[in-house]
Structure 1
Amino acid sequence: MNPDINSSYTLDTLQKLLGTPSPTGFCMQIMKLLAQEAEKLGYAMEFTPKGNGMITIPGDGQSNKGALGITAHVDTLGAMVRSVKSNGALRFTPVGGYSMHSVENEYCLIHTRSGRTYEGTVLSTKPSVHVYTDARDLKREEENMEIRLDEWVTSKEETEQLGISAGDFISWDPRTRVLDNGLIKSRHLDDKASVAALFGLLEWLKRANFKPDRTIRFLFSTYEEVGHGSASIPGDITEFIAVDMGAIGDDLTTTEKDVSICAKDSSGPYDYEMTGRLIELAKREHIPYAVDIYPRYSSDASAALSGGSNIRAALLGPGVHASHSMERTHLDAVVNTAKLLAVYIMN
């Protein structure tokens, strides 16, 4: 059976995901979107107490291997209001790990707890070279950055009257562009490209009426960027595949058209047999892939292992350039990630 992944559906899903703000800890809207999309495909999504979603496809009972878990995370980098400054601007604290250079001059949304949303722009506290002699040299770190609100405010009191206060979430404008040559550039391809790949896989499983011999649990986590997305997983899972972006650069061989298979990251090596099986299946199916080591990276599979799960784990995903910055991938990598997972399930 050839896993004919629907690229149009996968891309459409990705664009919906990218257009839905979901910084870590503020994933209610995007999880509602996923539940609705799952329902359209004929699946039910369950929710854990901390907001992770799970879709279960029962096995036909012929396998005694235990369940296969496949996870991707919907949460993204973002920020939170740390304080309102005397000039009415906002000081913010990062959610997730990124450099301040990567968000300088970015448009953003401030999500108040009353449900109101305001626009703003991330700037340094000395944003103009026409005014400040050290504008170019000012170190881009938290205390030297602020958000200029797109409201007529000049004082702390005026900003607070809008209902903005410490603890409000901030999401970055994704600035998504889909090009005719298949390239996709956007913030938050980490890891919404992988989530779209999983929904491309789910759509194919339903369309092909494929019945797996073992139970498959799709987990969509909401706290990966802060290290504990899938730290707790169902006890029947014996194999766990984290689907997350493949980093590009330095001595890494992954490209934006490849499925990246990670043999080792900062948490240690992934399961030898699972990783080897993914490599052999990619070779057999002529799926462009690369095997790399990520020394400054961890995944939801790492979190599950650290949380005490007695599992074997692997990591793969579409190659993404400039991770945690202005990211870019290719639709081929997203679709082929879904295809490789489909082949793994069939084998």
Structure 2
Amino acid sequence: MSDPSLAYIEDLLVRLLNTPSPTGDTEAAIALLEAECQTLPVETRRNRKGALIIHVPGTDTSRQRLVTAHVDTLGGIVKEILPTGRLRLAKIGSYAWNTVEGEYCQVRTERGDLVSGTVILHNTSVHVNRDVATVERKDDNIEVVLDANVQSKQDTEALGIAVGDFVYWDPRVQVTPTGYIKSRHLDDKASVAVVFGALQSILQSGKPLPYALNILISNNEEIGYGGNSNIPPETVEYLAVDMGAIGDGLSTNEHCVSICAKDGSGPYHLGLRRHLVSLCRQHNIPHAVDIYPYYSSDASAAMLSGADVVHGLIGPGVANSHAYERTHRDALKATYDLLMAYLYSPLQG
């Protein structure tokens, strides 16, 4: 990444990935981004849900754009303290238990302490359980064993742990010499970093945007309603920047920007989608158009809430979604290039 903005994107991404922010407990990540905004500088505020809203002036204020990316992630929450002192969890967000089995984690207590542990299957030793390989992983047999000498529920409670405490997965962030970025929660912190890279470039260039821009860093996307409010009435276009899914039957990869034609919520605006594809062709940006069958975005939430806007969805290609994810610097650059080209292009609405 030779462009200073792209180096900034990678640096911010690593810092964000190492800042826990499961849906419902996103204060630290939002505060980190607020501090970034102060260094740029740019006008910000929070909505009542705790999301961050950034306003960037433009030549035309009567017609505006809104770009969103979400900082909330998957995680867990303590559902029950077992008689053994281990924990049962409830999921935050949608994922399969096998994607976190064996993962290190931290439990944050009400008083702010962090207690480390590991997510395991009950009776996980092959030396005493012949069914380890075949047993279904489900809510009542996945447990957190704490890194503390606890033998009872009372021992665990003495650590300050209680029902409702949030549990953070270890992101295990790695940036390889070949340019791959491996971590949990690239969905959607990769996109947040890209949006901030574009924001930095716009502010440093001094080149005014053709239309005023509002950026919403949402904090409830993983549970379906992060971007369904705080949409200014002047908004004509609403673009969600979220991970591009990779899998069988799809053409997106870790080296391009993905443009979504349709997801589980239905088709995205045809005119805006064609405009985004045209910008990629015009600027030689690696891209793919795909349909995500089991997916929705903050733009979907906006439409379901009745927003009268043109809506679209783009994002870097991310492999292994809602597990231990991976992308590449190429995908970050392609998404950044498309976002920059889009923000200086004519409205489609």
Q: How would you bin the TM-score normalised by the shorter chain?
A: over 0.9
Question: Is residue 97 from structure 1 mapped to residue 90 from structure 2 by the alignment?
Answer: no
Contact 1:73 1:191 in 2 (8 A): yes
The TM-score normalised by the length of structure 1 is 0.97
Q: Which residue of 1 aligns with 2:138?
A: 141
1:4-38 deviation per Cα after TM superposition (whole angstroms, max 9, x unaligned): 66211110000000000000010001000000011
Q: 1:344 aligns with which of 321, 342, 345?
A: 342
The runs of at least 4 aligned residues of structure 1 exceeding 3 Å deviation read none
Q: After TM superposition, list the pairs within 5 Å mapping 1:95-174 onto structure 2.
A: 95-174=92-171
**In 2, distance between residues paired with 1:121 and 1:235?**
47
Amino acid at match of 2:72: D
Please report how far the alpha carbon of residue 336 of structure 1 lies from its aligned counterpart in structure 2 after TM superposition: 1.8
Question: SS where residue 215 of structure 1 aligns?
Answer: strand
1:197-221 deviation per Cα after TM superposition (whole angstroms, max 9, x unaligned): 0011011111211211211001100
Q: Which residue of 1 aligns with 2:276?
A: 278
Please report how far the alpha carbon of residue 60 of structure 1 lies from its aligned counterpart in structure 2 after TM superposition: 1.9
Q: Which residue of 1 aligns with 2:194?
A: 197
Q: After TM superposition, list the pairs within 5 Å mapping 1:323-342 onto structure 2.
A: 323-342=321-340
Q: Which residue of 2 aligns with 1:12?
A: 11
Amino acid at match of 2:93: G
Contact 2:259 2:289 in 1 (8 A): yes
Unaligned runs of 5+ in 2: none
Question: Is residue 21 from structure 1 mapped to residue 40 from structure 2 by the alignment?
Answer: no
**In 2, distance between residues paired with 1:102 and 1:184?**
18
Aligned length: 342
Q: Which moved more, 1:128-137 or 1:74-83?
A: 128-137
Q: Which moved more, 1:278-287 or 1:52-61?
A: 52-61
Contact 2:287 2:334 in 1 (8 A): no
Question: SS where residue 143 of structure 2 aligns?
Answer: strand
Contact 2:252 2:258 in 1 (8 A): yes
Identity %: 46
Question: Is residue 176 from structure 1 mapped to residue 169 from structure 2 by the alignment?
Answer: no
Question: SS where residue 214 of structure 1 aligns?
Answer: strand
Amino acid at match of 1:76: T
**In 2, distance between residues paired with 1:249 and 1:5?**
32
Contact 1:88 1:157 in 2 (8 A): yes
Q: 2:69 aligns with which of 69, 72, 76?
A: 72
Q: Which moved more, 1:233-242 or 1:82-91?
A: 233-242
Question: SS where residue 209 of structure 2 aligns?
Answer: coil
**In 2, distance between residues paired with 1:287 and 1:327?**
23
Please report how far the alpha carbon of residue 133 of structure 1 lies from its aligned counterpart in structure 2 after TM superposition: 2.1
Contact 1:275 1:314 in 2 (8 A): yes
1:277-301 deviation per Cα after TM superposition (whole angstroms, max 9, x unaligned): 0000001100000000011000000
Aligned-residue CA RMSD (Å): 1.0
Q: Which moved more, 1:136-145 or 1:8-17?
A: 136-145
Please report how far the alpha carbon of residue 234 of structure 1 lies from its aligned counterpart in structure 2 after TM superposition: 2.5
**In 1, distance between residues paired with 2:5 and 2:218?**
24
Question: Is residue 298 from structure 1 mapped to residue 303 from structure 2 by the alignment?
Answer: no
1:187-240 deviation per Cα after TM superposition (whole angstroms, max 9, x unaligned): 000000000000110111112112112110011000000000111122221200
Question: SS where residue 213 of structure 1 aligns?
Answer: strand
Q: Which residue of 1 aligns with 2:221?
A: 224
Question: SS where residue 58 of structure 2 aligns?
Answer: coil
Amino acid at match of 1:212: L
